[in-house]
Amino acid sequence: MGLKAGIVGLPNVGKSTLFNAITKKHILAANYPFATIDPNVGVVTVPDSRLDFLEDLYVPKRTVPTSFEFTDIAGLVKGASKGEGLGNKFLAHIREVDAIVEVVRCFDDDNVIHVSGGVNPVDDMDVINVELILADLEIVENRIGKIEKKAVTTKDKDSLLELDVLKKCQEALINNKPIRQLSFSEDESVVLKNFNFITAKPIIYVANVGEDDVVLGENEYTKKVYEYAANEEASVIVMCAKMESELAELEESDKKNFLNDLGISSSGLDKLIFATYNLLGLETFFTVGPDECRAWTFKKGTIAKKAAGLIHSDIERGFIKAEIMKFPDLEDLKDEKKVQEAGKLYLEGKDYVMQDGDIVYFRFNV
């Protein structure tokens, strides 16, 4: 689907270390071809125990997990919205992502210099978020300057709607409020999409802690990150990027043993992948058989005909019906025939809204 999350942060917060963990993870991902799109983009597979179950049940020739992209975006410094540092490059790249993963330093280390001279996660988050707000505000005010007179004079319906949306955004941004915290009607949302505002993108914070704080899961710094994120109803993942980078080099069994010894159920990286997947509004359906078991990513609310097009445009064009099993039913009965005999094989039309965990066979004719 081409969806991607952008990893942002100030220098020396662990952003690149986290990205290295992601790229190492996808090299080791079973049955997934290694593909580096460019030096700062990594494809990450989404861990899914349901796919593991289907693989054991069908014993296919190959198994393909679902995936999405993480992009390591050039570092940001104060003044980026005015072109300081790599500001222009940073802002151009971040506009291309669908969600933001903001890495915040929550560890002390005299050997790692902090760009501001001391560890202060709230200040760090403010620096980045204010720069993003200023970048959006510049676009908003430039556009208002171009269309306001015409909109008011001509009373053109579309121009007036655009002006209203922009002024709504302007007021929020001036008050240091990101656009994602605003509510928009369907028509307003269509206008908003034309601008690709950075602060309209969903965000998740990664509190990067030292190895000693991993088991505890918090410290004095992470508490401040949680408080900050709560004000904008954003999620927080606490993890140690350094440890995740080391874990990513281990075989899966060794990794599980290491985490078990620490009393941790899943790695921080896996938690981040799940959280980002949900943040992007993504869900998964499956296609199964002796040749291939595959997980497919779709946006929540996708109808069956459009989901068929994710596999091939011909299937969408010639769509007839979708045969659907619910994963819990197959997991319980462990046999397709038994699912059918139990009356739990459903035949759905083109407007059926796909559900997470659907196991689908698309009937089509072209």
Residue 256: per-residue pLDDT: 83
At 45-71, the pLDDT tens digits run 888 999 999 999 999 999 999 888 888
β-sheet bridge partners, residue 364: 319
At 316-341, the pLDDT tens digits run 999 999 999 999 999 999 999 999 99
DSSP string, 68-113: EEEEEPPP--TTGGGT-TTHHHHHHHHTT-SEEEEEEE----TTS-
Q: Tell me the Cα Rg of the chain.
A: 23
| Burial group, residue 337, by CB count within 10 angstroms (0-12, 13-18, 19+) | exposed
The reported pTM is 0.80
Residue pair 74/305 in contact by the 8 Å Cβ criterion: no
- Could you count the other beta carbons within 10 Å of the beta carbon of residue 190? 12
pLDDT < 50: residue spans in the chain: 26-39, 84-87
CA–CA separation, 39 and 98 (whole Å)? 19
Looking at every residue in the chain, the average pLDDT score rounds to: 86
β strands within 234-288, DSSP E: 235-239, 282-287
Residue 297: per-residue pLDDT: 92
Residue pair 346/330 in contact by the 8 Å Cβ criterion: no
CA–CA separation, 200 and 95 (whole Å)? 10
| Burial group, residue 215, by CB count within 10 angstroms (0-12, 13-18, 19+) | exposed
DSSP string, 3-16: -EEEEE--TTSSHH
Coil, strand or helix: which one is 326? strand
- Could you count the other beta carbons within 10 Å of the beta carbon of residue 230? 11
Residue 112: per-residue pLDDT: 64
Residue 113: per-residue pLDDT: 59
Question: Pick from 16, 14, 27: which is nearest to 249 by CA?
Answer: 27
Helix or strand (DSSP H, E) at 347 = strand 345-348
CA–CA separation, 24 and 173 (whole Å)? 38
Residue 1: per-residue pLDDT: 52
